[in-house]
Structure 1
Amino acid sequence: MTISFENNRLLLDFPDELGQLEILDLTTFVADKSKTTFYFKGPNLVSQKAQADRALVFSLPLDIEPIYFKKYLTAQKVPNHQTKILKTYLDQLSPYLDKLGYQFRMTQDTSATSATKSVAKVQHRFSKEIADIPFYVDYEGAKAEVYWIKRTDLCIRKGAVLKQDMPLNQDGSIGFSQKFALSLRQEHADVIGPDMVTTADIHLKSVNEVGHLLYFAGTNSWLILKDKTGQTLSSHTIIS
């Protein structure tokens, strides 16, 4: 498994010829019909590019048909002979995707009505009303004041305290989520002091990135950020 992070583009090269995954902003995304693209708003899968703030692009093994891969993940019917192949492949990929924090719908629902439902379990929407509301983080040693200023602009205010102890895999290796967090910290190293306290405001593109930078993710950050009354960011922005 190799990982690279350059120009806000994360590239994961899976082991055992399982293919590749690119995670990139829509501003740098160029469609490629030979690959399979999913659109995400933060950690949640969305059905339209207009709703998204990033793209996840899979380069699949030769025995995986891109069209069936996408249908399977979005709860559409696929030929029976493809089901076993896709399930086996996704079983191999799931540990990596889960660690990254992205919410895919991994089960196939064959009912006619469910295929038309949204594939995102939970969606959140930015609104101008919350731009001036401070949200606070107090989780596993990380402390911060955060503002969601624009749709793809979250500001961690100066003086934030970053979690220092990085969680490791059971074998002592660094997980993929942690590597992404480290890459974000490296990107902003000039404003992170040796005591892991920030010396200037830091702007990130998503709630997911905020969680990675502050406390190596590992939990639902929509529930960690809270206003002064204890109301979560999720409850302010969830789409019912």
Structure 2
Amino acid sequence: MELKVKILKDQTEIALPDNQGRIVITRKLARNKSANSVTLSLKAGKLVGVQSQDNVDADRIITIQASWDLEPAYLAKRFAQYAVERGTFKADPFANTKIPSSQLPTINAFRDLILTILAGLGFELFATSKKTPKGKPRHRWTKKVSQVAFKVDYDGSRATVYWRKRNEMLLKAGAVMKPEPELNKDGSLGFAAKFAERLRSEHSDAVADFVTTKDIILKSVNEVGLFLYFGGTNSWLVLRDEDGKSIEAWTIVKN
């Protein structure tokens, strides 16, 4: 991923791909903070607040200025929920905010993009917790599961996939892709669809008429879902072996 970064005296600015907004990293909360933004407050490199306007314990502020079609309240809630899942927060401060199910794929994809960028910059926001994350299942790759052929037959897409290594999904040649994504109410592409389109463009030399012509390597189950059918569902339940057992059932860590 290539990013445009501007380093100034008092802040660092990072332009997000596809005109999706920008990230601004400062020591203090910007007085002219955009209304369409989410702030992450950090203390010693760890997340201590989301949308905390007067967090005196924070020594650094990360402001995420999202594009106009993304609801900041939903994004703030997903960051907070992730912090709860990781054991960093004890409770969701936005418990009364409800995210429409139709918006979840877009919000999750954008949040994951931000976390990927911040991790690449050396920010590990979440304190290590010995507690099992609540609400979000964990999956474990094994050599045994790497031998299983998982089939996809969902929303017009069909494929065979192997979870070959921990961070490597092998999509076999001959996979049929969903041609067009669902659009937002205003006719625009959601972030998940934009991410999927970019993912497809990276492998355009291996696709003809929405059918893959050679094997493709992807990084995760979620990337497989985005690449084949633009996401929008839990792909851990979509990928199934010849007996109908999902990749979720194969790999979930039970406590």
TM-score class, shorter-chain normalisation, is 0.5 to 0.7
Partner of residue 63 from structure 2, selected from 60, 64, 67: 60
Pair 118,71 (structure 1): closer, same or farther in 2 beyond 3 Å:
same
Identity %: 39
Following superposition, the deviation at residue 73 of structure 1 comes to: 3.6
Alpha-carbon separation, structure 2, partners of 1:10 and 1:233? 32
Aligned partner of residue 211 in structure 2, secondary structure:
coil
Following superposition, the deviation at residue 123 of structure 1 comes to: 1.1
Per-residue CA deviation, residues 145-172 of structure 1 (Å, 9 max, x unaligned), is: 0000000000000110100121111121
Match of 1:99 in 2: 106
Pair 59,159 (structure 1): closer, same or farther in 2 beyond 3 Å:
same
Pair 143,20 (structure 1): closer, same or farther in 2 beyond 3 Å:
farther
Check the 8 A contact 2:105/2:192 in 1, yes or no.
no
Structure 1 unaligned blocks of 5 or more: 22-31, 38-57, 62-68, 105-114
Following superposition, the deviation at residue 71 of structure 1 comes to: 9.3
Per-residue CA deviation, residues 164-210 of structure 1 (Å, 9 max, x unaligned), is: 121111121100100000010011011111x1000111101100000
* RMSD of aligned alpha carbons: 4.0
Check the 8 A contact 1:36/1:59 in 2, yes or no.
no
Aligned partner of residue 144 in structure 2, secondary structure:
helix
Per-residue CA deviation, residues 97-151 of structure 1 (Å, 9 max, x unaligned), is: 652446x9xxxxxxxxxx9552452111111101111000011110100000000
Check the 8 A contact 2:160/2:172 in 1, yes or no.
yes
1:13 aligns with 2:21: yes
Following superposition, the deviation at residue 60 of structure 1 comes to: 2.7
Aligned partner of residue 37 in structure 2, secondary structure:
coil
**Aligned ranges for residues 22-171 of structure 1 at < 5 Å?**
36=47, 59-60=62-63, 73-74=83-84, 75-76=89-90, 83=93, 98-101=105-108, 117-171=132-186
Partner of residue 222 from structure 2, selected from 202, 208, 215: 208
Following superposition, the deviation at residue 217 of structure 1 comes to: 0.1
Structure 2 unaligned blocks of 5 or more: 4-14, 23-33, 49-60, 65-78, 112-129
Pair 60,177 (structure 1): closer, same or farther in 2 beyond 3 Å:
same
Q: What number of residue pairs does the alignment pair up?
A: 182
Paired amino acid for 1:235: A
